[in-house]
């Protein structure tokens, strides 16, 4: 009987020790939070002139690691009320590049929309071309003096009557905007009917909705975000096959 009790006590002690070790390992894993993405923008050459081809670089890192497998690096370049987007190519060693020729002197806002390892960041930098100019303020992607930025994650291979996830990322003053009211306004080219789909916040600054497209063709998608005095929107397009 005593031997049995001693054996059972030993088993209980071993199991207790194992449970404590497992909890310690779990606590350690929880303490190690993923490092945020960082994007540094550089140009080659550093001094920019109109009508000369330049290289714009996005150097992407996460902690001490250079990110070489980003799922998206998309440069948005804004000047006054005009905006264009150019997809970057990985040059190597975490450096993603585009080539751009600015047609006129001015101050241009450059936003490298970057997605990697389930994270997204979209810092805004200003590039002065030639003599520059006084920056014009406008409403839209970076309205209210550029405080708020919206980015639409373009869905790929959208099919008729298939579930399609729409995703937007929102930043205000370069920080993820949490707790906002977000929705997608959708209508097909040439049609008057507009559909509104409420988006849910999946994580800080990320809002998603699932919808279906009944017909093939080109659809307009307007992103709406509201929080307090913030009310921003941008318009994009989706091709449905």
Arch. (CATH architecture) of 150-240: Sandwich (2.60)
Mean per-residue pLDDT of the chain: 85
pLDDT at 8: 53
Per DSSP (E only), the strands in the chain are 37-44, 53-62, 65-66, 72-79, 82-87, 89-92, 95-101, 106-116, 119-121, 125-129, 148-153, 164-172, 175-176, 181-188, 195-203, 206-211, 217-227, 230-240
User: Which helix (H) or strand (E) element contains residue 29?
Assistant: helix 2-31
Q: What dotted CATH number matches 37-135?
A: 2.60.40.1930
Quote the CA–CA distance of 119 and 154 in Å, as a whole number: 16
Please write the tens of the pLDDT for every residue from 71-114. 999 999 988 878 899 999 999 999 999 999 999 999 999 999 99
Q: Hey, how many other C-beta atoms are within 10 angstroms of the C-beta on 237?
A: 11
pLDDT at 34: 77
pLDDT at 203: 92
37-135 against 150-240: fold identical: yes
pLDDT at 132: 80
Task: Answer yes or no: are the C-beta atoms of 85 and 78 closer than 8 Å.
Answer: no
Break the chain into its structural domains and give their ranges.
Answer: 37-135, 150-240
pLDDT at 145: 41
Any idea what the Cα angle at residue 46 is, between residues 42 and 47, rounded to 5°? 140
pLDDT at 142: 40
User: Residue ranges of the chain with pLDDT lower than 50?
Assistant: 29-30, 135-145
């Amino acid at each position: 009987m005593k031997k049995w009790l001693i054996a059972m006590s030993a088993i209980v002690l071993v199991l207790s020790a194992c449970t404590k070790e497992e909890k310690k390992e779990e606590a350690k894993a929880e303490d190690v939070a993923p490092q945020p993405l960082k994007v540094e923008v550089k140009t080659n050459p550093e001094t920019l002139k109109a009508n000369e081809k330049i290289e714009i670089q996005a150097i992407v890192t996460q902690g001490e690691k250079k990110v070489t497998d980003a799922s998206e690096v998309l440069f948005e370049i804004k000047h006054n009320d005009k905006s264009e987007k150019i997809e970057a190519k990985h040059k190597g060693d975490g450096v993603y590049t585009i080539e751009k020729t600015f047609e006129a002197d001015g101050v241009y806002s450059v936003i490298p929309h970057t997605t990697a390892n389930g994270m997204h960041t979209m810092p805004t930098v200003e590039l002065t071309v030639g003599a520059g100019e006084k920056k014009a303020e406008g409403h839209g992607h970076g309205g209210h003096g550029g405080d708020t930025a919206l980015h639409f994650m373009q869905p790929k291979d959208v099919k008729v009557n298939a579930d399609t996830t729409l995703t937007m990322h929102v930043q205000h003053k370069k920080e993820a905007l949490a707790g906002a009211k977000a929705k997608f306004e959708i209508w097909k080219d040439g049609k008057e009917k507009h559909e509104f789909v409420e988006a849910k916040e999946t994580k800080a600054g990320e809002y998603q909705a699932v919808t279906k497209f009944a017909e093939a063709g080109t659809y307009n998608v307007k992103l709406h975000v509201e929080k307090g005095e913030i009310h921003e929107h941008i318009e994009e397009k989706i091709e449905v096959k």
